[in-house]
Amino acid sequence: MSKNNSEYLISRNNKQYEVVIGLEVHAQVLSESKLFSTSATKFGAEPNTQVSLVDAAFPGMLPVINEFCIKQAIKTGIGLNAKINKRSIFDRKNYFYADLPQGYQISQFKDPIVGEGKVVLDMPNGQKEIGIERLHLEQDAGKSIHDLDPKNTFVDLNRSGVALMEIVSKPDLRSPDEVNAYIKKLRSIMRYLGTCDGNMQEGSLRADVNVSVRKKGSKDFGTRCEIKNVNSIKFMQMAIEYEANRQVDLIEDGQVIDQETRLFDTKKNETRSMRSKEDAHDYRYFPDPDLLPLEVSDDFIENLKSEIPELPDEKKKRFIEKFKLSPYEANILVSDIETSNYFENVIKKSDVKLATNWIIGELFAALNEKNLEITESPISAGNLSKLINLIKDGTISGKIAKTVFEQMMEGDKDPQKIVEEKGLKQESDPKALEALIDKVIDDNRDKATEYKSGKLKLFGFFVGQVMKVSGGKANPQLVNEILKKKL
Amino acid sequence: MSDITKQSLSELVKNIKNKKLSSKEVTKAFIDRSEKSKELNTYITENYSIALDSAKKFDEKPNLDLKLPGIPMAVKDLFCTKNVRTTAGSKILNNFIPTYESTVTQNIWNEGAILIGKLNCDEFAMGSSNETSFFGNVQNPIDKNLVPGGSSGGSASALAAQLTPITIGTDTGGSIRQPASFTGTVGLKPTYGSCSRYGIVAFASSLDQAGPMAQNVKDCALLQEVISSYDDKDSTSIDFKRNEYSKELTNNIKGKKIGIPKEYRVEGMPKEIEELWKKGIEYAKDCGAEIIDISLPHTSYALPTYYIVAPAEASSNLARYDGVKYGFRAKGENLIDMYEKTRSEGFGNEVQRRIMIGTYVLSSGYYDAYYLKAQKVRKLIKNDFDEVYKKIDAILTPSTPSSAFKIGEKKDDPVSMYLNDIFTVPVNLAGLPGISIPAGHDSKGYPLGLQIIGKAFDEQNILNIAYAIEQKINFKNKITDWWIK
């Protein structure tokens, strides 16, 4: 395998293969109730406690569209720079399974609510555009639980009927890294919009991954395999890597690739065949006669457009232009709506450059160590901003600030108070510093002589001694100046 | 009063309002007659003791402002009724007791009526003779071993036999109008979207519509006024201005333009039906209506279209009966085996036949040739009606191509059975209202019906025409109580 800066290629016998990837991302719509019923959608509730008669498909029960979910899907479409279809149709996808109470899933087949769009990825070697084929709404199924009883399967219908957006990309992705960036970008956009919480642990975001390979330079697509229901970015990357290599091996061995559905075994780190194309279900899609075609007006869409917040791409641009951040810094700060909100709150009253460094450096490291999200940060934006001002106006040194910061992490304390209580204020009185410096020189006569005779490296030693004696509070700049005179 | 059950709904309502009769007397009279009429096999589930309690309660504190004050009533067993078993005529729902009430029946109870039982019907409303019911054939009170029609066969039979003063059925391809015609009663299939489908066991969602069945047009109008409502629990329910049909009922139809479609003169139609139709035309003229010959060119495609669309929807609607959540479950080796055994044993032959047809026409490779084509033809059929309604107000046709037939006569010939719906099916495909009224008898003394088809949402107009013609015809049902020993 070779990884030069820009290309992910698989080499075999002096031939290079390119990997072609398309994703079908299933994103759970952030909504308190389900797509066609009023049941709650909270994660982790007791089994079968969020199930209405509609969700359990009782005789004579009918679906009624949840308007909020429609708005969420359209907003997401706008966020993906996509065409919003004013007329869309809900279809029935028919198949039997114990956790599919209706015997069909209500989905959108021929006429999805959102058409073609695109997202832009920031890759190390520049930007890359990934096409979106479509976004459609569908119901989730329930959950079959096979490991609670040796003979029986249990069914939990809490998820049954929960609204999902299936976001289908064009086969534009070419490497596991791009997949990583793509998922993160989608997640970021949807979190900005408040249309999906993107929580992969809770299954709010998962994907079917289509993988094929072709000789580098070839324009034709190879036969693809679909890896079903992968629920973390890491597993997606591992699955792609395994699957692409498997396909290359087959081709090199003179075999053909069967179009099939595969699953990724996370324990063995391999993909395995689930069913071949011949065994594929015939879902017998047809328009759901219980639901009329969904029609939305221009006004409806325009109103939603006016509710769209500034999205990561625009925000990044603004941060770079207005705050003179580097693209690298801006990328980090806009990747998550909560981070960018925090950043903007801090810089309301403090220096942008210092704030950027402190958030990306100290704060992220400290949060990471404690395994906390920015929303759970013990240090509020207001107090971080105060700390930065204390540094800026010379009340404390950068070094002391780190001590104060550590204490702030223990609980959201006002840095001003910490400085006062612990007497950490920087010593900037030249007379006091002179006295201190005189004493240090006096205590280290021999070193002072050496310095004067040309051993200039010893200057650092004296600075260190002064800082030590002052308990770190001496203003380093003044110490430098005075020392130079005195020595 | 010994002849309580002979009274029409309007008379019963009047007598209860005037305190000449109590709800309990009326309820008991219909229950007693029902008890004596077990041979008709109209009931699947009886609700007699609860009904009598409810009647007693009503009498203690009668609300006489209601439209159906303390009126007992049995309903087709396709309507889910809270805490009362609802089977849809199928083994697969043999033990199913809903925890909820259909909107249509709720509307009825809200007006003071009392449920006395659930009436037999073809399994999942699939049939034209009530012979597909898991609970056995229903006898037509007109004659022994005569089918009452279907699928609302139990409803029509109970109504004609005076076991219930009024009733409701559902009509997907003629299931109210054909049995009404076979039993000498009045049945209305309202405009699609007039009555909520919430809580009605679904057969074919785009065609199903609940409707009233009664002894006469006025009672039918009153019941339609009660059951029709806009319902946000049914996305296909339509919010339009609903009349007080019974109050606005009039026999003045002077100047109304009534169309006679030439395509309904089908080959092999019995002379008696032809005669009946002519008679109906004369009566309409007598009432001052203008008769206009019209053409509905795509009529001959209606039946094949219906037998693609309806089974397609049914095959999907009935997927939920899988033995997992409620209803009958057969033991199986594994999930698939359980499904197969449950559905093989739980569904009867006709239901299985339609599920197979429906599955076939939706299958990939056949979808375009069947389902999609059928949808296109359906549109053409609707266009036919839209076109003629530019010039006319209503259409007059026979309700059925024949009178009631003997039990078993067509059981092994599904196509001949399907032909029964030839005059009623186009109305469902176009989503229009249609009413069948009794108009005469054939040589065997069996009733024959005439159908009046209206514009969408124009129930009032066809009720008025039916009301006017009814008064001219002065039909009397010939019922001998042969089943009461």
Q: What pLDDT digit, counting tens, does each position of A137-195 carry?
A: 999 999 999 999 998 899 999 999 999 999 999 999 999 999 999 999 999 999 999 99
- Select the residue of B232, B319, B367 nearest A103 (Cβ to Cβ): B319
Interchain proximity B316–A286, CB inside 8 Å: yes
Whether the CB of A290 is below 8 Å from some CB of chain B: the reply is yes
For chain B, helix, strand, coil in percent to 5 are: 40, 15, 45
Per-residue pLDDT at B13: 98
Average pLDDT, chain A: 92
pLDDT of chain B along its 485 residues, tens only?
A: 459 999 999 999 999 999 999 999 999 999 999 999 999 999 999 999 999 999 999 999 999 999 999 999 999 999 999 999 999 999 999 999 999 999 999 999 999 999 999 999 999 999 999 999 999 999 999 999 999 999 999 999 999 999 999 999 999 999 999 999 999 999 999 999 999 999 999 999 999 999 999 999 999 999 999 999 999 999 999 999 999 999 999 999 999 999 999 999 988 888 999 999 999 999 999 999 999 999 999 999 999 999 999 999 999 999 999 999 999 999 999 999 999 999 999 999 999 999 999 999 999 999 999 999 999 999 999 999 999 999 999 999 999 999 999 999 988 888 888 888 999 999 999 999 999 999 999 999 999 999 999 999 999 999 999 999 999 999 999 899 999 98
Interchain proximity A59–B202, CB inside 8 Å: yes
- By C-alpha distance, the chain A residue nearest B79 is A60
Interchain proximity A104–B326, CB inside 8 Å: no
Give me the CATH number covering residue B119: 3.90.1300.10
Q: What distance in Å separates the CA atoms of residue A401 and residue A397, rounded to the nearest whole number?
A: 6
Residue B318, in any domain of the structure: no
Whether the CB of B8 is below 8 Å from some CB of chain A: the reply is no
Q: What distance in Å separates the CA atoms of residue A7 and residue A248, rounded to the nearest whole number?
A: 16
- Per-residue pLDDT band for A4 (boundaries 50, 70, 90) equals very low
Distances from the Cα of A397 to the Cα of A261, A388, A393, A403, angstroms = 61, 10, 10, 10
Coil, helix or strand for A485? helix
Name residue A410's beta-bridge partners. none
Average pLDDT, chain B: 97
Whether the CB of B359 is below 8 Å from some CB of chain A: the reply is yes
Interchain proximity B100–A59, CB inside 8 Å: no
Whether the CB of B356 is below 8 Å from some CB of chain A: the reply is no
Per-residue pLDDT at A475: 82
Q: What distance in Å separates the CA atoms of residue A355 and residue B100, rounded to the nearest whole number?
A: 60
Whether the CB of B324 is below 8 Å from some CB of chain A: the reply is yes
Q: Which two tokens stand for residue A162?
A: 């929960």
Q: What distance in Å separates the CA atoms of residue B119 and residue B75, rounded to the nearest whole number?
A: 6
Interchain proximity A290–B232, CB inside 8 Å: no
Interchain proximity B235–A290, CB inside 8 Å: yes
Name residue B452's beta-bridge partners. B396, B435
* Nearest CA-CA distance, residue B73 and chain A, Å: 21
The answer to whether B135 touches B43, Cβ cutoff 8 Å, is no
Whether the CB of B96 is below 8 Å from some CB of chain A: the reply is yes
Q: Which one-letter DSSP state was computed for residue B466?
A: H
Per-residue pLDDT at B2: 54
For chain A, helix, strand, coil in percent to 5 are: 40, 20, 40
Whether pLDDT at A91 is above 80: yes
Report CA dihedral (A231, A237, A238, A244) to the nearest 10 degrees: 120
Residue A403: what residue type? T
The answer to whether B206 touches B309, Cβ cutoff 8 Å, is yes
Q: What distance in Å separates the CA atoms of residue A363 and residue A352, rounded to the nearest whole number?
A: 15
- The pLDDT > 90 percentage for chain B reads 96
- By C-alpha distance, the chain A residue nearest B104 is A60
- Select the residue of A53, A57, A92 nearest B100 (Cβ to Cβ): A53
Which residues on A lie below 8 Å from B320 (Cβ)? 57, 59, 101-103
Whether the CB of B322 is below 8 Å from some CB of chain A: the reply is yes
- Span A188-215, pLDDT tens digits: 999 999 999 999 999 999 999 999 999 9
User: What angle, rounded to 10 degrees, do the helices at A312-323 and A337-346 form?
Assistant: 20
Residue B369, in any domain of the structure: no
- By C-alpha distance, the chain A residue nearest B197 is A60
Residue B56, in any domain of the structure: yes
Interface test with B, best of A37, A62, A279 (most B CBs within 10 A): A62
Whether the CB of A291 is below 8 Å from some CB of chain B: the reply is yes
Range of B158's domain? 4-263+270-296+384-473
- Span A305-323, pLDDT tens digits: 999 999 999 999 999 999 9
Query: Which 204-233 residues of chain B touch chain A by CB within 8 A?
Result: 204-206, 232-233
Q: What is the DSSP string of A285-336?
A: -EE-TTSPPEE--HHHHHHHHHT----HHHHHHHHHHHH---HHHHHHHHSS
Residue B362: what residue type? L
The backbone torsions φ and ψ at residue B423, rounded to the nearest 5 degrees and listed phi first, read: -90, -20
The answer to whether A474 touches A433, Cβ cutoff 8 Å, is yes
Q: What distance in Å separates the CA atoms of residue B63 and residue B82, rounded to the nearest whole number?
A: 22
Interchain proximity A59–B80, CB inside 8 Å: yes
Residues whose CB is less than 8 angstroms from the CB of residue B257 and which lie 6 or more positions away in sequence, other chains included: B289, B290, B292, B391, B392, B393, B394
Residue B98: what residue type? P
Whether the CB of A289 is below 8 Å from some CB of chain B: the reply is yes
Which residues on B lie below 8 Å from A109 (Cβ)? none
- Per-residue pLDDT band for A486 (boundaries 50, 70, 90) equals confident
Interchain proximity A60–B199, CB inside 8 Å: yes
Q: Above 0.85 for ipTM, yes or no?
A: yes
Residue A297: what residue type? S
Residues whose CB is less than 8 angstroms from the CB of residue A279 and which lie 6 or more positions away in sequence, other chains included: none
Say how far residue B107 (Cα) sits from the centre of its chain: 17
- Per-residue pLDDT band for A3 (boundaries 50, 70, 90) equals very low
Which residues on B lie below 8 Å from A104 (Cβ)? 316, 319
**B140: closest CA among B181, B182, B175?**
B182
Which residues on B lie below 8 Å from A101 (Cβ)? 320, 324-325
Whether the CB of A98 is below 8 Å from some CB of chain B: the reply is yes
- Per-residue pLDDT band for A6 (boundaries 50, 70, 90) equals low
Q: Which two tokens stand for residue B422?
A: 């030839």
The backbone torsions φ and ψ at residue B30, rounded to the nearest 5 degrees and listed phi first, read: -70, -35
The backbone torsions φ and ψ at residue A451, rounded to the nearest 5 degrees and listed phi first, read: -60, -50
- Select the residue of A63, A282, A286 nearest B235 (Cβ to Cβ): A63
CATH 1.25.40.10 fits A430-486, yes or no: no
Residue B378, in any domain of the structure: no
Which residues in A465-479 are b (16+ Cβ under 10 Å) and which e? bbbeebebbbbbebb
Coil, helix or strand for A227? strand
Whether the CB of B92 is below 8 Å from some CB of chain A: the reply is no
Number of independent structural domains in chain B:
1
Per-residue pLDDT at A2: 41
Residue B483, in any domain of the structure: no
Which residues on A lie below 8 Å from B80 (Cβ)? 59-60
The backbone torsions φ and ψ at residue A135, rounded to the nearest 5 degrees and listed phi first, read: -135, 125
The answer to whether A92 touches A46, Cβ cutoff 8 Å, is no
- Select the residue of A62, A98, A288 nearest B335 (Cβ to Cβ): A98
Interchain proximity B198–A63, CB inside 8 Å: no
Residues of B annotated catalytic, as ranges: 76, 151, 175
The answer to whether B228 touches B460, Cβ cutoff 8 Å, is no
Q: What distance in Å separates the CA atoms of residue B7 and residue B215, rounded to the nearest whole number?
A: 9
- By C-alpha distance, the chain A residue nearest B102 is A60
- Span A454-466, pLDDT tens digits: 888 888 888 888 8
Q: Which helix (H) or strand (E) holds A139?
A: strand A126-139
The pTM assigned to this predicted structure is 0.91
Question: HSE-up of B314 (CA within 13 Å, CB side)?
Answer: 28
Per-residue pLDDT at A106: 98
Q: What distance in Å separates the CA atoms of residue B34 and residue A21, rounded to the nearest whole number?
A: 70
- By C-alpha distance, the chain B residue nearest A93 is B316
Residues of chain A with CATH 1.10.10.410: 430-486
Whether the CB of B198 is below 8 Å from some CB of chain A: the reply is yes
Interchain proximity B324–A155, CB inside 8 Å: yes
Which residues on B lie below 8 Å from A282 (Cβ)? 363-364
Q: Which one-letter DSSP state was computed for residue B20?
A: S
Q: What distance in Å separates the CA atoms of residue B288 and residue B464, rounded to the nearest whole number?
A: 13
Q: What distance in Å separates the CA atoms of residue B210 and residue B217, rounded to the nearest whole number?
A: 17
Coil, helix or strand for A133? strand
Which sign, positive or negative, has the C-alpha torsion B341, B343, B348, B350? negative
Task: Please count the other Cβ atoms lying within 10 Å of the Cβ belonging to residue A92.
Answer: 25
> Is the bond preceding residue A188 a cis peptide, omega within 30 degrees?
no
Interchain proximity A60–B197, CB inside 8 Å: yes
Query: Which 312-351 residues of chain A touch chain B by CB within 8 A?
Result: none
Interchain proximity A284–B206, CB inside 8 Å: no
